[in-house]
Amino acid sequence: MTPSPTAADYEGDLPNGNSKGHPELEENVNPQVADAQSAALKVVSRLQQKLLNWVEPMGLGLVLGSEALRKLGASDLQVPDLAFFARERLRSKPYRVFPVVPDLVVRVATAPGQRELLERQILRWLERGAQVGLLVENWGATISVFRKGQVITLGFGQVLSLPEVLPGWEMQLAAL
């Protein structure tokens, strides 16, 4: 009988040669942690799709996930789970110079104790020039919307809109 593969068996196939960020390949992973990470990935994926459905047809800019941002050179400490860069900001940069600060940053909490850390990260993004930060918690049931000097928290039955970065775009939180 062949033994089950471990993360080491796949290291050459993974970005950066490790299994970080791939809980399904790590040994001795707490199933609750893996479930929370899986739920967070689903939320990010759904939100990314909702944003892409609005942004791409109108050519409003770029919506990128954390993996794409890492490939563009951002360090793990600087990478939001999802980011939007407005077309105007992309065009104002010289060829091949990518804006460092997105217009919209999204962080998704995978554990209850993460809020304070993720909130600090979002506030740093706002200080650096992001217009809006979203903190998604409870598997998409609540979203805190951070703007300079203001934080509002939306619940399951409410509608998220981001007029300063995506005029006209709206999303029911229930869609997450």
All domains of the chain in start order, with CATH? 31-175 (3.90.1570.10)
Residue 135: the pLDDT is: 95
At residue 31, φ and ψ (nearest 5 deg) are -60, -30
- How much is the pLDDT for 56? 94
pLDDT at 77: 59
List average pLDDT for each run of 10 residues in the chain, which is 176 residues long.
38 41 52 65 90 94 87 71 89 62 92 88 93 88 93 93 96 87
Please tell me the predicted confidence (pLDDT) of residue 5: 35
